Chains A and B, each alone.
Chain A
Amino acid sequence: MSNATLKELSDRLAAGACSSVELAQDYINKINGLGKSLGCFITVDAERSLAQAKAADARRAAGNAGPLTGVPLAHKDIFCAEGWLTTCASRMLSNFVSPYDAHVVELCNAAGMVTLGKTNMDEFAMGSSNETSFFGPVRNPWNPDTVPGGSSGGSAAAVAARLAPAATGTDTGGSIRQPAALTGICGLKPTYGLVSRYGMIAFASSLDQAGPMARTAEDLGLLLNVMAGHDPRDSTSLERPAEDYNRSLAQPLKGLRIGLPREFFADGLSPDVRCAVDEAVAEYRKLGATVVDISLPNMELSVPVYYVLAPAEASSNLSRFDGVRYGHRAAEYTDLMDMYKRSRAEGFGAEVKRRILIGTYVLSHGYYDAYYIRAQKLRRLIARDFVEAFRQCDVIMGPTSPTTAFRLGEKSADPVQMYLSDIYTIAVNLAGLPGMSIPCGFDGGGLPVGLQIIGNYFDEARMLNAAHQYQLATDWHTKAPAVGQG
């Protein structure tokens, strides 16, 4: 049963083939077994989950069920969920039980979805390998010696290992798409502002965007239909009429213009990834799409720009973690200054501290113009490149990540190597565009490769259409790692 997609579970519940409580219990059993060895979850609370499942069954019995009522999902531990430990994978929040729900959690609850638990992640979403979590790394279900990517590594691994049919994630520089690629699942980062950031613990506010992670494009649309929507509590949440993101799934791809940015296929791309992406593009041609050679000339600068802007915003966003009102406070200290410094030194891990230092430095007196303002100017150039590109094409495609999953510890010694693993995803966040990753093959070692699809603003339905048609023609998305089978 746990091999079913969101759509299939929805249909089974509707047909009365199973109950929500049975489903939840089934997944929780797997989470407590395989989930533990993979390190996918930080918090599991069976009692809460089953209570929600019971309420969902009652709702269905009362005839008030929506399409996802009773369907379970996992939430990245960056989302505040009332009564749930919400840690952001940090020692700083290791004792923080949230007194409120994030908008995303509210919406999922209102749809009758059942929370299976809170998934592991890179601490405060800062990382590309899920190795910065205070609660230990997540292992890639395809090969436990490799990373699942990050920062939504727990969500990605859980979905890949069939521990949850879907999960929420957040993406600041690739944190949904890159782990989706590395674990062979689908992940979508919507247009900035489509999903409310309220209750999602901020990393870099102008880049952060939540989105769905699941096994098929159709499932992404189903979950996005729940997650998206205006929220007056987030000043950057967009006021747009509700839409069905799956409305165009069935549309044929004939005439679809696919832009291939030559910068995505330059040095640094592993041959296996390149091969899989080329084959995917060939498949799209077969489906009637045309291919356009395009250029994103400033894309190379997206990594340096991102590593100025994101740490700058983060250094300020993380100042609230001071040990005064919640979170970790050092056991011993001499005075207020010492309390701050020790609490924060103990509460944050190395990568978080590194980024706070970078951010503090680039914002400090005398450096602001040279780093921060310059980076914001380049951000505009990078965004303009996309505007230009979308004059020539409908969607942009390329690799999600330059390599497949790397070994645990392989890049943790050198932050720059780690940062460069997001080279193809970061520009999308800087521009505020929607981007997604879908599985498109495997490397020589049997590790999954992700195809990235980038759409124009608010073009999620078209991207999902493109992904869905590909998934009708191929079966990469149905492949499960050995540990997730059965």
Chain B
Amino acid sequence: MKWEVVIGLETHAQLSTVSKIFSGASTAFGAEPNTQACGVDIALPGVLPVLNTGAVERAIRFGLAVGAKINSPSIFARKNYFYPDLPKGYQISQYELPIVEGGTITIQVGDTEKTVRLTRAHLEEDAGKSLHEDFHGRTGIDLNRAGTPLLEIVSEPDMRSAEEAVAYARALHTLVRWIDVCDGNMQEGSFRCDANVSVRPAGSEKLGTRREIKNLNSFRFLQQAIEYEVRWQIGELEDGRAIQQATVLFDPDTGETRMMRTKEDAHDYRYFPDPDLLPLEVTAERIAVVRSVMPELPQAMKSRFVDEYKLPDYDAALLTASKETASYFEETTRITFDAAKVLLGIAGKEPVLSGVAKLAANWLIGEIASRLNSGGIELADSPIKPGQLAKLLARILDQTLSSKMAREVFDAMWAGEGDADAIIAAKGLKQISDSGEIEKIVDQVLAANTQQVADFRAGKEKAFNSLVGQVMKASRGKANPQQVNDILRRRLAG
């Protein structure tokens, strides 16, 4: 039988406020246990929650970014259950009326674009952490994380493969960082996904029974966990066993999912409106203010890159993977274009924006990305800033540097040896583009290689390449390869 996979994601994005959602304790990561858990966070008797406006502002920003409806009022509810890292015995969340409803995320898998619908996004508080090691068989509870604001973003079951799920998670991850609502740090748990996975016979309308994979904190684990889960569910169904609804954990060591042992007992969260918190109003004025400071969003920017710079979709997608990459690209392109205008203007020529942009894109996606990757460096910490890269690219455009020479200069720049022009001067790397000079070298090479000249004239095209090589060698690599080609052809034809 052919099976169809159905996946929906619930993503918890920690909102980047400095204080907690209902208390004035710090949200900074990595403090000593329980030193950032105030009376409200540890749920002392008598304490009360007061909502952080920063969390609300971020939720609105997210809602606007995904084209969702901002509910006013929205309601905070209590989700009741006992767990040692949940100090009040209930989590303050939103249930019947979330602050954000609807919206979409556009994803790209291969060449196809797809729209994933969002069900809702609601504000809630994070729980603390349970530490299971080193306490002679007991569990230690650290409540520093308790009360950290979360936006839980729930998708519709619109994804049909692990690839689509990962593409969705990545797009969401890009977006929340782009609009500065979440730092996206997955190691620290700032962005984590639960995946609801089910399978059904292809063509069936009815959804299969789903199992929820909890707490996936890397895209790789997300992919692996879903792939395993899908194989497992299909195996079960093909062996004639029904799937039971369950919550499972992914074990990265074995690559398998397994049922959780603790939360198995039937849940009845007894949601009800939190009597400590009145309805949350979001006025039209407030929405307008948030909208007015909203940056250009990745999807819009990607389209603009294709239109304005005539970049291929693929390049535009890569360049808009993060706000830093996009602004690095645009800054480099702008400075390069301005510099090339001056440099080419001497020769009465003008740079073409799309050509400059493509050059900048190639260098950013190519050299810069691979250096950052291998060095484990963030773009923000790159030793070469847009202004510096632009100077190098301008020297390619004005034909001072061949691309091979440009790479040599780039290496030196990366090593901190100075800016492009200084390195070109120091290394004597200036390309020979003077045709008189090149002609001289060509004539010398032709005179010294009569046999190859004869071979070429006898129809052996290979001999031409060898002659080009000889000329380049004789110029110590500095001759403009295009000009060498042209002059050599002209001479041999003559």
A residues lining the B interface (CB < 8 Å): 79-80, 86, 88, 93, 96, 98-100, 102, 197-202, 204-206, 232-236, 312-313, 315-316, 318-322, 324-326, 336, 340, 360, 363-365, 368, 372
Contacts and interface: CB of A to CB of B under 8 A. Distances in A.
B84 interface: yes
A100 B48 CA distance: 13
A360 B270 contact: yes
Nearest to B79: A316
A244 to B, nearest CB: 27
Given A204-B275, A316-B90, A320-B89, A365 B268 contact: yes
Contacts of A79: 46
B50 interface: yes
B87 A320 contact: yes
A233 B50 contact: yes
A319 B272 contact: no
Contacts of B43: 320, 325
B46 A319 contact: no
Contact of B44 (A100, A336, A360): A100
Contact of B78 (A316, A325, A340): A316
A211 to B, nearest CB: 17
A236 B274 CA distance: 11
Interface pairs A-B: 4 shortest CB-CB: A319-B89, A206-B275, A363-B270, A205-B275
B89 A99 contact: no
B378 interface: no
- The main secondary structure of chain A at its interface with chain B is loop
Contacts of B90: 316, 319
Given A236-B278, A312-B272, A198 B80 contact: no
Contact of B39 (A100, A312, A322, A324): A100
Contact of A205 (B42, B44, B89, B276): B276
Contact of A235 (B51, B82, B270): B51
Point out which of B45, B46, B49, B139 has the most chain A C-beta atoms below 10 A from its C-beta.
Answer: B45
11 contacts: A79-B46, A93-B45, A96-B45, A99-B44, A102-B46, A202-B45, A206-B275, A233-B47, A236-B278, A312-B272, A316-B80
A315 B276 CA distance: 14
A341 to B, nearest CB: 10
A364 B270 contact: yes
B48 A233 contact: yes
Interface string B67-95: 00000000000101010100111100000
Interface in B269-315: 270-272, 275-278
A198 B48 contact: yes
A201 B46 CA distance: 4
B47 A199 contact: yes
A34 B7 CA distance: 71
Given A80-B45, A233-B47, A324-B84, 13 more contacts: A100-B39, A102-B46, A197-B46, A198-B46, A202-B45, A205-B275, A235-B278, A319-B82, A320-B43, A325-B87, A336-B139, A365-B270, A372-B272
A201 B45 contact: yes
Contacts of B49: 235
Nearest to B43: A320
Interface extent on B, as a size class? 20 to 34
Contacts of A232: 50
Interface string B322-346: 0000000000000000000000000
B141 interface: yes
Contacts of B87: 320, 324-325
Given A235-B51, A235-B278, A364-B268, A202 B89 contact: no
Contacts of A316: 78, 80, 89-90, 270, 272
A79 B44 CA distance: 12
Contacts of A93: 45
Contacts of A365: 268, 270
Contact of B47 (A198, A312, A318, A322): A198
A300 B275 CA distance: 24
B45 A322 contact: no
Contacts of B45: 80, 86, 88, 93, 96, 98, 201-202, 320-321, 326
A209 to B, nearest CB: 12
Nearest to A199: B46
A37 to B, nearest CB: 29
Contacts of A319: 80, 82, 88-90
Nearest to A366: B268
A234 B268 CA distance: 28
Contacts of B268: 364-365
Contacts of B88: 319-320
Contacts of B271: 363, 368
B278 A99 contact: no
A218 B82 CA distance: 47
Contacts of B275: 204-206, 313
A43 to B, nearest CB: 15
A80 B80 contact: no
Given A320-B88, A364-B270, A202 B50 contact: no
Point out which of B51, B270, B277 has the most chain A C-beta atoms below 10 A from its C-beta.
Answer: B270
B403 to A, nearest CB: 63
A342 to B, nearest CB: 13
B272 A200 contact: no
Nearest to B23: A233
Interface in B387-412: none
Contact of A99 (B39, B272, B277): B39
Contacts of A96: 45
A322 B268 CA distance: 18
Contacts of A80: 44-46
Contacts of B84: 322, 324, 336
A324 B141 contact: yes
A315 B268 CA distance: 14
A319 B47 CA distance: 14
A236 B272 contact: no
Nearest to A373: B272
Contact of B48 (A99, A234, A312): A234
A234 B84 CA distance: 25
Nearest to B50: A235
A235 B276 CA distance: 7
Contacts of B42: 325
Given A320-B89, A365-B268, A368-B272, A202 B46 contact: yes
Contacts of B272: 312-313, 316, 363, 368, 372
B35 to A, nearest CB: 15
Nearest to B277: A235
Contacts of B46: 79-80, 102, 197-202
Interface in B139-158: 139, 141
Point out which of A233, A319, A360, A372 has the most chain B C-beta atoms below 10 A from its C-beta.
Answer: A319
Contacts of B139: 336
Contacts of A102: 46
Contacts of B39: 99-100
A365 to B, nearest CB: 5
A326 B44 contact: yes
Contacts of A233: 47-48, 50
Contacts of A360: 270
Nearest to B49: A235
Point out which of B44, B139, B277 has the most chain A C-beta atoms below 10 A from its C-beta.
Answer: B44
B146 to A, nearest CB: 11
A93 B46 CA distance: 12
A102 B39 CA distance: 12
B82 A236 contact: no
Interface in B77-133: 78, 80, 82, 84, 87-90
A202 B78 CA distance: 15
A360 B270 CA distance: 8
Contacts of A201: 45-46
A97 to B, nearest CB: 12
Contacts of A363: 80, 270-272
A200 to B, nearest CB: 6
Contacts of A324: 84, 87, 141
